[in-house]
Structure 1
Amino acid sequence: MSIVVNLNTVLTDRNLKSKELAEMIGITEANLSILKSGKAKAIRFSTLEAICKALECQPADILAYKKE
Structure 2
Amino acid sequence: MPIIVNLDIMLARRKVKSRELAAHVGITEQNLSLLKSGKVRGIRFGTLERICAYLECQPGDLLEFQPGPSSDEDDADI
Larger RCO of the pair (alpha carbons < 8 Å, separation 6+): 1
TM-score where L is the length of structure 1: 0.97
TM-score (norm 2): 0.85
Secondary structure of 1:41's counterpart equals: strand
Q: CA deviation at 1:56?
A: 0.5
Identical aligned pairs, as a percentage? 57
The aligned runs of 1:5-24 (5 Å cut-off) are 5-24=5-24
Partner in structure 2 of residue 51 of structure 1: 51
Give the counterpart letter for 1:32 in structure 2: L
Unaligned runs of 5+ in 1: none
Instruction: Indicate the structure with greater strand content.
Output: 2
- Report the residue type matching 2:27 in the other structure: I
Structure 1 consecutive aligned stretches of length 4 or more whose deviation exceeds 3 Å: none
- 1:67 shift after superposition: 1.3
